[in-house]
Amino acid sequence: MLFPTIDFAIFFLVAFVAAWLLNPYPTPWKLGIIALSYFFYSWWDWRFVFLLVASTVLAHLGAMGSSRRATSPRVARASLIGSLAGLLGLLGYFKYYGFFAVNADNLLHSLGLGRLIPLIQPTLPVAISFFTFMAISYVVDVYRGRLEVARPVDLAVYLCFFPHLIAGPIVRGEELLPQIRRRRNPQDIDFSRAIWMIMAGLFKKVVISSYVSSAIVQPVFSAPSAHSAPEAIFAAWGYGVQIYCDFSGYTDIAIGLALLIGIRFPVNFDAPYTARNLQDFWRRWHITLSRWLRDYLYIPLGGNRGSDAMVVRNLMITMVLGGLWHGANWTFVIWGSLHGCGQVFGHLRRKSRVARGLPAVAEGTLRSTWQRFWTFQFVCLGWVFFNASSFSNAMGILGRLFIGWTTPTRLVTPLLVLVIVGVIEAQFVPGAALERVQRFFSEQRAGVQAAMLGLILLGITTLGPGGVAPFIYYRF
């Protein structure tokens, strides 16, 4: 069930009415949200619901056993390890078994040992990466003493709440569980802001992302050898715009939907293409995943503590596993490795500058512009591997930069250039200016707001394609 569809509009209308009718009754409200969320998740495949239930049970049992206030340190640690092993085991089997089995079997065969590993490709459940990471963060936070063990019904709502279920944000227990426990006040809901975010998200996804995908990204990535060097360059830039509009558009819609039900989600994007280096980029892109990797992987590995060799190790492990989180394919490993190498270079460069008595990052308007330009180029280089169907497909696109200058360029139109440049430049618009536009909308009468929304929806349906493709992050 995709957000920009009539099916979801009907579902959300029912969910919205039910949520507010049940709002005065805490337990029925929670049970109603669980039922609605499970129905939403079962729309893809009803069998996936059992996996979501299993993850919830593992998280609850792990949290009860991991609470140091209720058990001894040894039992708490054993429970933590057991729960994490169960959660990661489910994720590993469904998402990575086929990938590792094929590669291990090929290695054994090349060594003359025959075909020893059963080659099974389990169906990948939608959103398993997202709710698994949320379950892990909950159990670890209980073990660390940051959270109390939640009631099973509260934990179930936390993991399955349908606005974030499919593609995040990856919300922490300390952010969402208190909101689940308390009663929501309709008078505190900024309905105009919620509707504004939903409309903005729909425009980004349905209009911009869909247009860039069909105009340049899909044609070039599906047949690199048929396209010119400028088309390959604009395809890489275009995919950067496509995935930003697609994923941030989803996040805007999810935040708006949750807000209409009285739940606030954390910000997940902060103008990522204005970043001056990769460290800055990951503070702005998919923020909830970035901080998850930082708090539950990078820092436990040692973070910035220790020698340069240890820091390099920690950065590379974090980014490579972050790449694998996105999918079981060597292209994601390469993507994560590229960002890991870029982070290592940035770390060593910042450390060297500080040792010489210089600011960690060079200042000045010209230098800032130069830093942003090259950071964007590096990020788009990574997007080539991220979007490519295989390593050879990615190299085919990059190879066009060297041998594709005599091929006719037909896909790079003035409209395409305007859209790509416009999306990037729009991220430099001050947040205060966007807030003023949103505030202007919220201050209008209901009739004026309805007319404005009608025009926006008319524009979206007119400019958008006949059918809307799934959000890119649905497959993770």
Question: pLDDT of 354-379, one tens digit each?
Answer: 888 888 888 888 899 999 999 999 99
The reply to whether 102 and 65 lie within a common domain is yes
Q: Which residues contact residue 239 at a Cβ distance below 8 angstroms, ignoring those fewer than 6 apart?
A: 212, 217, 221, 380, 383, 384, 386, 387
Record the tokens describing residue 455, joined without a space. Answer: 């025009």
- Among 131-140, 159-168, 243-252, 467-476, whose mean pLDDT is lowest? 467-476
Name the DSSP class of 116. Answer: -
**The pLDDT of residue 111:** 72
- Which residues are catalytically annotated? 326
Q: Which residues contact residue 219 at a Cβ distance below 8 angstroms, ignoring those fewer than 6 apart?
A: 227, 231, 235, 411
Q: In the chain, how many domains are there?
A: 2
The reply to whether 21 and 112 lie within a common domain is yes
The string over 54-77, giving b where at least 16 C-beta atoms fall within 10 Å of a residue's C-beta and e elsewhere, is ebbebbbbbbbbbbeeeeeeeebe
Query: Does 51 score more than 80 pLDDT?
Result: yes
Q: How far is CA 250 from CA 43, 262, 471, in A?
A: 18, 18, 7
| Per-residue pLDDT tens over the stretch 53-66 | 999 999 999 999 99
Query: Of 172, 187, 202, at which residue does a domain stop?
Result: 187
Q: Do residues 178 and 78 lie in contact, with contact meaning Cβ atoms separated by under 8 Å?
A: no
Query: Of 187, 203, 237, at which residue does a domain stop?
Result: 187
Q: Is 275 helix (H, G, I), strand (E, B) or coil?
A: coil
The reply to whether 126 and 267 lie within a common domain is no
**The pLDDT of residue 242:** 96
**The pLDDT of residue 387:** 95
Q: Which own/partner pairs from 116-119 qualify as long-range (CB within 8 Å, at least 24 positions apart)?
A: none
**The pLDDT of residue 116:** 63
The reply to whether 253 and 214 lie within a common domain is yes
Range of the domain at 377: 191-276+361-463
Question: Tokens 């073990």 correspond to what residue?
Answer: 143
Query: Of 187, 207, 237, at which residue does a domain stop?
Result: 187
**The pLDDT of residue 364:** 84
Q: Which residues contact residue 7 at a Cβ distance below 8 angstroms, ignoring those fewer than 6 apart?
A: 1, 43
> Closest Cα partner for 475 from 95, 212, 220?
95
CA distance 128 to 188: 33
> Closest Cα partner for 293 from 266, 271, 320?
320
Residue 250, domain member (yes or no): yes
The reply to whether 259 and 382 lie within a common domain is yes
| Per-residue pLDDT tens over the stretch 65-123 | 998 777 788 888 999 999 999 999 999 888 888 777 777 767 776 777 666 667 676 77
The pTM (predicted TM-score) of the whole model is 0.92
The reply to whether 145 and 48 lie within a common domain is yes
